[in-house]
Amino acid sequence: MRYYKKKEEIAKRKAGTQTIGESIKGLLQAYRLEGKLNEINLIQRWEEFMGKPIAMKTQELYFRDGKLFVRLTSAPLKHELNMSKSKVVELLNRAAGHEVVKEVVFL
């Protein structure tokens, strides 16, 4: 009795089948959840993208209509980040792999 499959058996797939990853991507696109998932992923990885010092001064993050709203506790940091808004948008979109953020608003 054999408990493993040969490579040929594994490599053969029935026509019309797809991987689980492809199915999940298709489902996200069909229900138009892909954009929201990308926004949540970006918010969860904020510290990784912007660094610990900025993340520690961040009080709140949320998206509305493609705009990322960031509430900061430090006025000097807010001013400095306002001066480089385009760089922040470019950094976040590059890290996400595609355009997720259209504009950043520092509050």
- CATH (domain of 29): 3.30.300
Worst-scoring range by mean pLDDT, 4-13, 32-41, 88-97? 4-13
Alpha helices, DSSP H, located in 12-83: 20-30, 34-44, 46-50, 52-56, 75-83
Inform me whether the pLDDT recorded for 89 exceeds 60. Answer: yes
pTM of the model: 0.72
Q: Is residue 16 part of a domain?
A: yes
Q: Is residue 1 part of a domain?
A: no
Per-residue pLDDT band for 93 (boundaries 50, 70, 90) equals: very high
User: How many separate domains does the chain show?
Assistant: 1
Task: Please list the helix, strand and coil fractions of the chain in percent, rounded to the nearest 5, in that order.
Answer: 55, 15, 30
Q: Is residue 56 part of a domain?
A: yes
Instruction: Let me know: does 89 contact 104? Beta carbons within 8 Å.
Output: yes
| Chain centre distance of CA 84 | 21
